Structure 1
Amino acid sequence: MPDLTVSILLSEAFSNMVLACLLEPLRVVRDSGQADVHWAILTGDNGPVTSSSGIRVEPDRAIRDIEKSDLVLVVGGDNFRAEAQRRDMLRRVTPLFRSGVVIGAASAPWLLASLGLLDGRRATVHWQMTEEFAETFLGVEVSNARFERDDRFWTCGSAATALDLVLLFIEERFGPAVAYDASAMFLHADTKAVSGAPLPHLNSRKSEAVERLVSHMAETLETPLKLADLAHVANMSERSLSRVFRRELGVSPGRYYQILRLARARDLAANTRLSIEEIALRCGFGSSSGLRKAFFRFYGVSVRSFRRLN
């Protein structure tokens, strides 16, 4: 199982929305058991900060205790201009950016630019501060794009594009199928997903045919269709169907179908008192032993280990 170490730097008066859009998809990946994701909340002063809506947050540890991060999420705050003048704080946070992909959203690119990390790079920031940002940091090539990726420094101007960026990171790190599932809690569709949440609906990146088939798969978990039947629903050949799924989700239709069924089994194991046998039937497995084997191969743990209700 792959590991991912995430550092989350919060500024005073940070945005709850930006934090949620950056962190919640990673939480979904962790909770699904598809990756071992660990994160630590950090602050520039190693003390508590309060969000723009008044929520107080304590850091998990001091910045000096962070050795290396695979991903650094920077959530700026309303006091970004004042922060950029604090040399003590800037010195304290600098080591945090020595490794990993760095995603800065909304006002966070201002902090990154103040540290010189964006010199000679393309970057974007919230549209309300674009002109001021360009005038302040002459060494940065300022863009009006929704987001920018320049080497390992990724920047964007809003919570919505922060979500786009973290889903893109998840896709590149763990594959498109995992990113597709992680998007489910944020994006609306008219059909229900495997756990009652909306199905992912990434119109800009997934074809209508794939979205329609994923919805159909979610509705038929108890009696999974054969590849030929799925191809008939999609009005394409089996070969074309397999090619489309591999191109857009990185896995075969059958594999993605099994991912949905196992995700449903995990949800039922964690949140209901159904027996393993009943869960197996509801998720299209011919026997409890078949479910146990498939579940362990995919998650690396037993179905019973997800039990929360006695």
Structure 2
Amino acid sequence: MPHVRFLLFDGFSNMVLSCLLEPLRAVRDQGNDALSWEIATPHGQPAKSSSGLSIAPDADAGTGRFDLLVVISGYSYREHSKPENLALVSRLARQSDLVIGADTASWILASADLLDDEVGTIHWAVIADFTEEFPQVNVSYDRFVRSGKFWTCGGASTALEMMLAYIAETFGPASAFLASTMFLHDAERQQMAGRGPNRLQGRGSSRLRQVMNLMVETIETPLKLEDIADRAGLTVRTLNRMFQSELSLSPGQYYQMVRLSHARELASNSEYDLREIALRCGYADASALSKAFRKAFGHPVRKSHGNRPTSRQTH
């Protein structure tokens, strides 16, 4: 199970940190208790964000080995690119299987010669200077980029997209879906309030969102894909192609994830028994729901909201 180290430089964005850390927290709360992370700073002192909030480190920046290193920098990226910091980042990169550079951290990675001949990107506000400063980097204007062991992105929204891609690759599309729903809706309460899933906005074309909303609205009485396609004015073939090209999931997989996500919310935030939850999510009985949930996530429905760590992992 991955162990992640976040390296925060002064001036980092709280939003970028949240968009990278909170999806991991959601994955851990799905039952992946061994997933862990720690916070480090280059100077061993609390790092101050761009809004003035301070986060204290809980690890020595220069020790240990980990699966993923996440470097986050905001303002003062040129000042952070001093020899002692570059030596530290180079050493940490060698100790990590994968490295993420978020916001302006690509500047630090490039200054440490880690992105030579790699494809990389950076926050849009400095991408022109970045291109001029580091001709050895193949600069991309994509929202996020993976090149070798390095993943790079710009601001908060791209950081979220990148982390969800990492989660999908590491834990599977089901885990990525549930992590993403944390940012889109709180299924039971917002549906009752006429918000959230009934007004789903986000990734995808307007036609895709129309279909996604229809799926959410019919959780208790799931429709056949033929009926969904017909209501959206599509053929089943076009519906399949649209989901695969925009979400890398079949419409059937996505529909099931909507229902299982709702089941997880009800298991976590209601007193319903599994039979009632199953009926509210379009399953014939508790056994059918349990089988589908375990097949998708590898653990029972109720484990999704088990005892949550309160130690350093709650940063």
TM-score, normalised relative to structure 1: 0.80
Q: 1:269–1:303: 8 Å Cα contact kept in structure 2?
A: yes
Distance apart, 1:308 and its partner CA: 6.5
Distance apart, 1:73 and its partner CA: 1.8
Q: 1:124–1:144: 8 Å Cα contact kept in structure 2?
A: yes
Q: Aligned pair in 2 of structure 1 residues 84, 240: CA closer, same or farther (>3 Å)?
A: closer
Equivalent of 1:152 in 108, 128, 149: 149
Q: Which residue of 2 aligns with 1:269?
A: 267
Residues 133-148 of structure 1: pairs in structure 2 closer than 5 A = 133-134=130-131, 136-137=133-134, 139-142=136-139, 146-148=143-145
Distance apart, 1:26 and its partner CA: 3.1
Distance apart, 1:152 and its partner CA: 2.9
Q: 1:184–1:201: 8 Å Cα contact kept in structure 2?
A: no
Distance apart, 1:138 and its partner CA: 5.2
Q: 1:76–1:107: 8 Å Cα contact kept in structure 2?
A: yes
Q: Aligned pair in 2 of structure 1 residues 77, 268: CA closer, same or farther (>3 Å)?
A: same
Residues 43-82 of structure 1: pairs in structure 2 closer than 5 A = 43-69=41-67, 71-82=68-79
Aligned amino acid, residue 93 of structure 1: V
Work out the CA distance in 2 between the residues paired with 1:175 and 1:295.
Answer: 14
Q: 1:180–1:249: 8 Å Cα contact kept in structure 2?
A: no
Residues 22-101 of structure 1: pairs in structure 2 closer than 5 A = 22-33=20-31, 37-69=35-67, 71-87=68-84, 89-98=85-94, 99-101=96-98
- Does 2:286 align with 1:288? yes
Q: 2:90–2:114: 8 Å Cα contact kept in structure 1?
A: no
Distance apart, 1:274 and its partner CA: 1.7
Distance apart, 1:287 and its partner CA: 1.6
Distance apart, 1:21 and its partner CA: 2.3
SS in 2 for 1:235: coil
Aligned amino acid, residue 27 of structure 1: R
Q: Which residue of 2 aligns with 1:118?
A: 115
Unaligned runs of 5+ in 1: none
Structure 1, 52-61 or 167-176: larger mean CA deviation: 167-176
Q: Aligned pair in 2 of structure 1 residues 137, 279: CA closer, same or farther (>3 Å)?
A: same
Work out the CA distance in 2 between the residues paired with 1:62 and 1:241.
Answer: 50
Distance apart, 1:62 and its partner CA: 2.0
Equivalent of 2:11 in 10, 13, 37: 13
RMSD over aligned CA atoms reads 3.2
Equivalent of 1:259 in 249, 257, 260: 257
1:175-224 alpha-carbon deviations (Å, 9 max, x no partner): 5565455444546xxxx673534535213xxx443322221111111111
Distance apart, 1:72 and its partner CA: 2.4
Structure 1, 60-69 or 256-265: larger mean CA deviation: 60-69
SS in 1 for 2:187: coil
Aligned amino acid, residue 81 of structure 1: R
Q: 2:70–2:101: 8 Å Cα contact kept in structure 1?
A: yes
Distance apart, 1:173 and its partner CA: 4.3
Bigger relative contact order (CA 8 A; separation at least 6)? 2
Residues 161-176 of structure 1: pairs in structure 2 closer than 5 A = 161-174=158-171
Q: How many aligned residue pairs are there?
A: 298
Q: Which residue of 2 aligns with 1:219?
A: 217
Q: Which residue of 1 aligns with 2:99?
A: 102
Equivalent of 1:194 in 187, 195, 213: 187
Unaligned runs of 5+ in 2: 191-195, 308-315
Structure 1, 299-308 or 209-218: larger mean CA deviation: 299-308
Aligned amino acid, residue 82 of structure 1: E
Q: Aligned pair in 2 of structure 1 residues 127, 201: CA closer, same or farther (>3 Å)?
A: closer
Q: 1:43–1:49: 8 Å Cα contact kept in structure 2?
A: yes
Q: Aligned pair in 2 of structure 1 residues 130, 78: CA closer, same or farther (>3 Å)?
A: same
Q: 1:34–1:299: 8 Å Cα contact kept in structure 2?
A: no
Identity %: 45
SS in 1 for 2:203: coil
Q: 1:183–1:200: 8 Å Cα contact kept in structure 2?
A: no
Q: Aligned pair in 2 of structure 1 residues 120, 180: CA closer, same or farther (>3 Å)?
A: same
Distance apart, 1:90 and its partner CA: 3.1
1:231-273 alpha-carbon deviations (Å, 9 max, x no partner): 3223334444344434444444333222211111111111111
TM-score, normalised relative to structure 2: 0.78
